[in-house]
Structure 1
């Protein structure tokens, strides 16, 4: 977990969302980091557009991968017929309603109940039992980050209710579902889904956890109260705290590496120790091994890495005060015993140059005896053998500062000259309470074992040096090989990152295609309904025209035949597919169509209503026939004449008919 001083302040969504509202799997935009080098004019215009969105609408897309972000913005620009980012920038300023459409395009709403079914089965069978056992009987807190339309949050509710029972779920579980899209959150809060959205819900769960109505399937209200929806931007807002399970599926893949690292740190901060993170199938956390450890990498389950907690400082108790002795004799006796028992050889030469004190260790080391105490130090063999000590003794007394001799070869004492020792000798001048010289303390420290170790070390160093020279050539070869391996590893890491980025890109494009497929499916359904209506109307019209007992022809403004019923086929011997699309006056039939020209012209000009005339014609069998032909203008509700209706029936025109 990140350090408290660096991490954002934890936020408990229960305080921020008092009304119990909610949200589901809405991912932010996407893709790869912008390429290196100076940005071109188009890139600069795009970055200005992103900055404008952050400043005016508080939607900060600067952490999103540029390729897919540009692709989504261009998709919206194509919809409104704009090709330049600068022009679209101006268009947004002039049309505030366009922001909603743009955000709905950028924030891809692709989610479903129990998406990647095998991962949800692993969650129910392997992850939740351990998690619930560890947290029992404490409340269970779950966070669905980037929840879009709410399907993932309700999927979590179903899985947890199945694991611990409905009653325990109502008492112990809180599911916080967050997203940046307010429209998606509003839809999720309704908890009502269509049959197509419910297709991925198993039948037993659909009957147990949803109430079916005319508007769709609605999640059970008693369990719905445990799911809280609210707005939270993972890239900017503080995380929810004390969470047992975080689901953040196919959201990180839209963010660049820097923003991903920041979001992953916040998710780690949100989790309790040993909390579980559930990611989408395109997300790996390859560069965050110090924060999360994989539980099941194939299905993208990770556990928050254990964080070492510093042990509290333990202060040692204060030393007790040694009571001061009031007896000078007892104190002097104690000092004498301490000097005698010391394991360090100590001699004291007084201000007049006499050996006045020597402890047992000093007598053993120097070969002196108790009879030598009180003698002039300069008369003792110790003063000049094995090394001259008198100059150092005199120098320490005169300068009143310590002097020392190091690694003196010492062959005195009971061991004899056959067993030399090495000692360090310290000359420490002493002063009385008036600052006058009180003598000199000689401290002889046996360093023979250190010298032995030093000799052994020197010997070992020589051997190591020889071995080092032998290994030098091998080391150089290994270094060369290591450099080659390092280069290969770096190439593999680069290739792996490129593959990961490509995988994320493909997953993003897949979700975009799925979103577009949903849109096309809706348009296709609507077109199919319209086509059915048109087919029904055509059938109805054909039925009406076929039921008439006279020939009917409909022409447009250019006198091109548009309708030619069956009686017209029978009368003139011209099939419908031959007549439709042909100019009426160009038809080679037994009707003197030239005589109809005035009536058609009047009908097109709108100079009258229905007109009728009597003509003599030859039918398809070559027999003469007398026809009553009526021509009426064909109008639509806006009074714009679009053609004429020609009706031909055997008989004599009615009185009031118009003849050419």
Structure 2
């Protein structure tokens, strides 16, 4: 069953509610220089980076953990995180603690409804109405926005499908949101008319009707660093930006602008705002923070983010363990041949000789199952005893004289099962003891003996029947969970499909930018070539290795240049110029990075002024030849 307390303590900042920042007056740690190391440890353990969150907010949250552990410095707390991985998860939860409920700030939702009404008049086509609610926490904000969208479509007389994509980086919050169930105490915030239309009562809770629930898809996503949804009509991100630094706020606003259609709406919290000078959004309702996309060109660079963490949580404590730990538990309970199991029967440890009842090897044996390894006559009874012990922690559940088939015929065993709690091992364990194994006594003569035997049989049958009923109930519950998981998988598939579309659009946008840049570069090169040819002067460009990189048509009159000569040293080519110092002049120009001017003659007596100029663009040289006689130049 979903814990209703989670409603007020899960999910990302936002979701229509500001987070409780903790008791005012709590001292800030005296060594904030250790905060990057702390955030790095959290990022590596959880996969989520909080470095773009406001430093003051993070320090207040961390100060609460320091006060809880009676620590005075961040350095000491970082050391504690290294020793206790579970504390990293507790800090992560504190950083995500939030508050959310239905229709927070009713005036804001009235303003949003008016903006959607106007947007529907502008919106072309009959495509589904696409809405994204990032940082949705446990989902109340997403369903509130969905209800408003449906109501606006009804007023407009349009029957468009409503697709709401609700995301959050907190997987626990998303699991709660997917149930679409709330305690009756939350109904007062919905209003009677909306409640009757969009929800149904189920005992002490109420649920969203299928027409509303089926249109909301939940998925996990880290808004800071992951690709957005796209082609959106509405984006509702309330009270998240206030927790991020200025640079990240600007990046997210650019990202939101990219994700929205030209007519799309942005819905922020009352403590957030878009700069009036922004060329991305224009205010629709300033006090309630409803904005409209200005329709300016989308910038794909907004999708780029400097960091992407790929980390996973450490393995939970208590899944393995050493033989010494289990020996300690057994010694505390003072039992002979005993098997330590989990509730489903997985064997963790075997102590003593148990070959007459099952056939494990002494020591740690996983993942063998006790119920599968028990000899004939024991499995059903063992399951019944374990089930009964699970309902009575700390109490021995005993069944004497259970018949078991062995290699030497039938024998009887007294079974004892006890549930024990071990904080060190981190899970609920059961001690199963096989005691007083002996041969089956001969049946007692007469009616009394028969009645005694029938009584034992009835007791065993009742326990086995109880196990069967519990197993049936568990099977039904697992079937229901399987159906829920299938629905979740379908929603995840839809989310993944949308993300793939978004990535494809981003790739196309980036490819378009690249094509435009290449076309612009090609045009610039053509213009530069035309300009050089228009001068009518012999021009030769050399690269850093003094090889021919480019030349004008006029230069072929002084050097026997062809297209095939590109990449050859200029000094290897035949020239009509008398310039014996050409190689030295080229080397000196490269070395000194100074222009060299020299008068040279060509065959036929024509005089030229050669200018050898270092080129920062090519990293080489540019050589120009100008007739020394103005008449010749004309």
TM-score over 0.5 for the pair: no
Superposition TM-score, scaled by structure 2 size: 0.42
Superposition TM-score, scaled by structure 1 size: 0.41
Q: Which has the larger radius of gyration?
A: 1
